[in-house]
Amino acid sequence: MADLNKLTISELAEKLAAGDCTSVDIVNDVLAAIDATDAKVGAYLTLDRADALAQAKAADERRAAGERNPMLGIPVAIKDLLNVKGQPCTCSSKILEGYTAPYDATVIAKLRSVGAVLLGRVNMDEFAMGSSTENAALGKTSNPWDLDRVPGGSSGGSAASVASDEAIVSLGSDTGGSIRQPAAFCGCVGVKPTYGRVSRLGLTAFASSLDQIGPISKTVKDSALILEAICGHDEKDSSSIEMEVPAFAANLPADPSLAGMKLGLPKEYFVEGMDPEVEKAVRAAVEHCRSLGAEIVDVSLPNAKYAIAVYYIIATAEASANLARFDGIRYGMRLDGKDPAELYGKTRAAGFGPEVKRRIILGTYVLSSGYYDAYYKKAQKVRTLIRDDFTKAFEQCDAILSPVTPTPAYLKGEKTADPLKMYLDDILTTPINLAGNCALSLPCGFASNGMPIGMQIIGDAFQEDTILKVGHAYEQTTDWHKSRPAL
């Protein structure tokens, strides 16, 4: 193994262009890394080696014919809720065990068009419901930095595969922080794009007004490169915005100066009970941005404190509607009953895990007669207030800096007995999804126990260029992203 799996998209693109390696070489190195470490990490659910090598060979042929694209021949791990034609799409749930996707999600079709290699399916919390990947029904995933700790969730497999160099880059989905939180826990870069920037067609929906697909990568530039590939209008997705895709990577300045930029610091995001090492690391990162020329200004997001309550009303309500399709009739698991009602009940009881059942019940409750106005309608009103807070804040600054999570990655089993305690992990990420804005997580330090700490850079709607610029400047003048776990 030539350790090609440890390189970034940018580095590999240079080697491929120079003829120093082939896409087949890269895939072989990634497969060798999976063989060597995934028994410990558990990032992958399924892996089609022959197909990955065939895709790599085809990419090499396209390059030999003169095609040039930084994503050409780059292996990408896929979260197991994105449909890839001919591959399983289980959402790490027993109810979809054995199901094979009949079509490509739009993001997958876009990756195929640029010649990326679709490597395999990585683990996740069942139907993306969780913050630790402990709710996965079909596999167990560990944090590569400490195998006794969680990788975060729900895109835990996506983050763990990149952190352990078992993938060059991965795709995840973010409903309330499910890209940014595992990226922070695993020492990676994660981007949640603006709602509507990336097509959701072919994403198995959890909460349709909140879900967004995005990358987890080793560097900010790598995230910019794959964002260019997956963004863009999709006429088949009514939530997709018709807007030109910027040249995200080319727009990253060579000069890491942040002179002329105003970066907001929200007092509400340094919450009571936050791990002091997390606060210290993020405040040091803020000061580093100041040293790069940024002006740090205080901003207020007063309604952020309601975000968890609002999120878990809206998200569970939408989940209860979206998951109604998994009934044992059309696809997936089926347990026979004497009538349709018994068939539905037996299939869903056996197929769904406890967290999914909990959220379906909560969602059905808040939508039920007599409670709709008291809970769901009121939550939608407060959601508007949260969005308005961000609008006002961005009148004072170009981007907002904050922690990603109140703590670093915690031990497995530490929060499984108390769902509410785990829900509070999302307190700093859910407001962005409720507002529909974009945000980025990147490494900014380590706790004394050796676990990574992430800083969040929040942008206004469709301001991915801005958050990528800030993240890139910080990354180019620090070394946190260069550290790798010792597996």
CA–CA dist 283, 443 (Å, integer): 13
Say if 107 falls within a structural domain.
Answer: yes
Say if 274 falls within a structural domain.
Answer: no
Which residues are annotated as catalytic? Answer: 79, 154, 178
Q: Element (H or E) spanning 201, and its range?
A: none
Q: What is the DSSP string of 142-174?
A: -BTTBTTB---SSSHHHHHHHHTTS-SEEEEEE
- The domain total for the chain is 1
- Closest to 94 (Cα-Cα) out of 124, 47, 126: 126
Residue range 201-212: mean pLDDT, rounded: 97
Contact call for residues 207 and 427 (beta carbons, < 8 A) = no
Q: What does the pLDDT read at residue 426?
A: 92
* % of the chain residues with pLDDT over 70: 100
Residue range 243-270: mean pLDDT, rounded: 96
Q: What is the mean pLDDT of the chain?
A: 96
- Closest to 318 (Cα-Cα) out of 227, 210, 454: 210
pLDDT tens digit string along 170-201? 999 999 999 999 999 999 999 999 999 999 99
Q: Is pLDDT at 422 greater than 90 in this prediction?
A: no
Q: Is pLDDT at 411 greater than 60 in this prediction?
A: yes
Say if 320 falls within a structural domain.
Answer: no
Q: Element (H or E) spanning 215, and its range?
A: strand 212-217
Return the structure tokens found at 217: 């990568």
- Closest to 453 (Cα-Cα) out of 403, 397, 398: 403
Say if 184 falls within a structural domain.
Answer: yes
Q: What does the pLDDT read at residue 271?
A: 78
Say if 355 falls within a structural domain.
Answer: no
Which amino acid, residue 446? F
Residue range 292-311: mean pLDDT, rounded: 97
Q: Is pLDDT at 157 greater than 90 in this prediction?
A: yes
The CATH number of residue 116's host domain is 3.90.1300.10
Q: Is pLDDT at 16 greater than 70 in this prediction?
A: yes
Q: What does the pLDDT read at residue 6?
A: 97
Say if 305 falls within a structural domain.
Answer: no
Q: pLDDT grade, residue 424 (50/70/90)?
A: confident
Q: Is pLDDT at 457 greater than 70 in this prediction?
A: yes
Q: What does the pLDDT read at residue 419?
A: 78
- Closest to 269 (Cα-Cα) out of 389, 383, 410, 443: 389
Q: Is pLDDT at 220 greater than 70 in this prediction?
A: yes
Say if 313 falls within a structural domain.
Answer: no
Return the structure tokens found at 241: 């915005």
Say if 427 falls within a structural domain.
Answer: yes
Task: Tell me the residue range of the domain where 117 lies.
Answer: 4-260+397-482
Q: pLDDT grade, residue 365 (50/70/90)?
A: very high
Contact call for residues 131 and 159 (beta carbons, < 8 A) = no
In the DSSP assignment, the letter for residue 373 is I
CA–CA dist 365, 337 (Å, integer): 26
